[in-house]
Amino acid sequence: MEGKTVGGRYLLTKLLGSGSFGQIYIAKDPRGGDGEVAVKLEIKETKHPQLVYEAKLLKLLQGAPGIAEVYYYGIEAEHTVMVMELMGPSLEDVFNLCRRRLSLKSTLMLADQMLLRIEYFHSRHYIHRDIKPDNFLIGRSQKSNIVYIIDFGLAKKFRSPSTLVHGPYRENKNLTGTARYASLNAHLGLEQSRRDDLEAIGYVLVYFLKGSLPWQGIKAEGKQDKYSAIMEKKLNTPFTELCQGMPDEFATFLSYTRNLRFDEDPDYRYMRWLFQNLFHQQRLKNDGCFDWNVVKGRPQWQVNELKAERLQAAAMRNVAGSMTDYSQPSNRAATDVVLSIPSEPG
Ligand SMILES: Nc1ncnc2c1ncn2[C@@H]1O[C@H](COP(=O)(O)OP(=O)(O)OP(=O)(O)O)[C@@H](O)[C@H]1O
C-alpha cells in the first residue's frame, strides 16, 4: 500500500504495524502541520468491523486533550480508512526504555493524566474496559508531554447520555480486557463499570513503580486456567501487600476503587488529589520531564525506533494472546453511538 493516496490527499509512506484490526501506516499530508499522520486501514469485507466503531467513538470524544484528532473517515476501494493524528510510543514502550521501572515522579505525573483521560471518557458515557500501558500513547513534538488514550475496541456505553440512567448490573460475563490489569470484579464475571477502569489504572501504576505485578508469569495449562490463577492471586494479595514499599496512597487508591458500588459516581477529584498531594509532600517538581526524557545515552529517536520494532513484533505475533472475542456483541465497541462519521474537514 505504500505510495498510495487515501482520502484524496494522504500519501502512505510507511507501514507501522498490522494485526487483527488491519494495518496502520504513517502518511504524509502535504497540506497539514508537520505533515505526518497515522492511517488505519481495515478490509471492507472484514467479518468483525471495528474501525467504524472506533471512528464513531473518536468523533464523540473529539476536542479534548489526549484524544487523537480525526482528519478523515471514509470507505474506499477495498478499505475502510481513518486518518488521525500520529502519536509516539506507548507507555509500555517507554517503560521498557526505562528498564522496566519508573520513578515516583513519572508515575504520579502519569497517574494524573490517566485519571483525567478516564474521567473524560466516562463523562462521555463510555467505559474503556482495556486499560493497560499499551493503550496510552505519548504525543509527538509539542505534545510530547501529553498522554493519549487509544484502542476503543472494547469500550462500552455504561449509561444513557440523555437520562444518565446507568446500564444494568449483570453477572456471569466473560472476562473482557487484559487479565494482568483486569479488576477483581471483572475476573469474577461482573458487568464492568467505571470502577473497573479505575482499578485497572491502579494496577498499571503499581506495575510502573514496582516493575511488575505478582500475578505476572503464572504458568497454567490453558487460557482459562491462567485467568483463574491470576484471579486467585489477586484475591489473595491484599492491597497493603501489593503496595508494600510504596507510598500508602497507592493502596488507598486501590481500596477506594475496589469499594465503589457498581453504579456509583467515582470522585475523580479525590483520586487526583490523593496523588497530587503525595507529589507535593515529596517536593517533586511538575516540570513535565518524564524518566524517558532523560534516559542516559538514549536519544529521542531511539524511543521512536523502539516503537517501530514493537509494532513489527506485534504484527508477527498477529496480536496473539488477545482475549478479545469479537463474536460477543458485548465485546464490540460503541454499536449504539448515534453520531455520524466525520467527513473530511474543510
Ligand atoms: N494514531 C496513532 N499513532 C501512532 N501509533 C498508533 C496510532 N494508533 C495506534 N497506534 C499504534 O498501533 C497499535 C495498534 O493500534 P490499536 O491498538 O488502535 O489497534 P488494535 O487493533 O486495537 O490493536 P491491538 O490488537 O494491539 O489492540 C497500537 O498499539 C499503537 O501503538
CATH of the domain at 18: 3.30.200.20
Q: Determine which residue's CA is closest to atom 22 belonging to ligand 1.
A: 151
Tell which one of 12, 23, 24 to mutate to probe ligand 1, the residue whose CB is within 8 A of the most ligand atoms: 24
Residue 68, ligand 1, Cβ within 6 A: yes
The string of DSSP letters for 169-220 reads P--SPPP-S-GGG--HHHHTTPPP-HHHHHHHHHHHHHHHHHSS-TTTT---
| Whether residue 57 is found in the same domain as residue 189 | no
| Whether residue 186 is found in the same domain as residue 253 | yes
Q: Per the domain annotation, does 296 fall within a domain?
A: yes
Residue 20, ligand 1, Cβ within 6 A: yes
| Nearest atom of ligand 1 to the alpha carbon of 319 | 25
Decide if 130 is catalytic.
Answer: yes
Q: Select which of 34, 93, 112, 130 is catalytic.
A: 130
Q: Tell the residue number behind the cell numbers 503496595, with chain if given.
A: 243
Q: Are strands 70-75 and 126-127 parallel, antiparallel or unpaired?
A: unpaired
| Whether residue 154 is found in the same domain as residue 273 | yes
Q: Per the domain annotation, does 134 fall within a domain?
A: yes
| Whether residue 207 is found in the same domain as residue 108 | yes
> 64, 86, 108: which is the final residue of a domain?
86
| Whether residue 203 is found in the same domain as residue 72 | no
Q: Determine which residue's CA is closest to atom 31 belonging to ligand 1.
A: 90
Q: Is 40 annotated as a binding residue?
A: yes
Q: Which range has the worst mean pLDDT, 32-46, 212-226, 326-340?
A: 326-340
CATH of the domain at 268: 1.10.510.10
Spatial contact of 284 and 105, defined as CB atoms under 8 Å apart: yes
Q: Per the domain annotation, does 346 fall within a domain?
A: no
Higher pLDDT pick, 332 / 279: 279
| Whether residue 163 is found in the same domain as residue 286 | yes
Nearest residue to 14 via CA among 257, 304, 276? 304
Give the domain range for residue 242: 91-312
Residue 51, ligand 1, Cβ within 6 A: no
The pLDDT, as a whole number, for residue 327 is 29
pLDDT cut 90: percent of the chain above it = 77
Q: Per the domain annotation, does 336 fall within a domain?
A: no
Count of domains forming the chain: 2
> 86, 111, 129: which is the final residue of a domain?
86
| Whether residue 33 is found in the same domain as residue 177 | no
| Tens-digit pLDDT profile for residues 159-200 | 999 999 999 999 999 999 999 999 999 999 999 999 999 999
How confident is the model over 238-260, as a mean pLDDT? 98
Q: Per the domain annotation, does 317 fall within a domain?
A: no
Q: Tell the residue number behind the cell numbers 486501514, with chain if given.
A: 41
Tell which one of 36, 71, 86, 150 to mutate to probe ligand 1, the residue whose CB is within 8 A of the most ligand atoms: 150
| Whether residue 51 is found in the same domain as residue 117 | no
Q: Per the domain annotation, does 323 fall within a domain?
A: no
Entry pTM: 0.87
| Whether residue 98 is found in the same domain as residue 68 | no
| Whether residue 253 is found in the same domain as residue 156 | yes
Spatial contact of 93 and 307, defined as CB atoms under 8 Å apart: yes
Q: Per the domain annotation, does 344 fall within a domain?
A: no
> 44, 71, 86: which is the final residue of a domain?
86
Q: Per the domain annotation, does 333 fall within a domain?
A: no
| Whether residue 185 is found in the same domain as residue 109 | yes
| Whether residue 44 is found in the same domain as residue 126 | no
Apex CA 14: angle with CA 13 and CA 17, to 5°?
145
Q: Does the pLDDT of residue 119 top 70, yes or no?
A: yes
Residue 306, ligand 1, Cβ within 6 A: no
Q: Does the pLDDT of residue 299 top 90, yes or no?
A: no
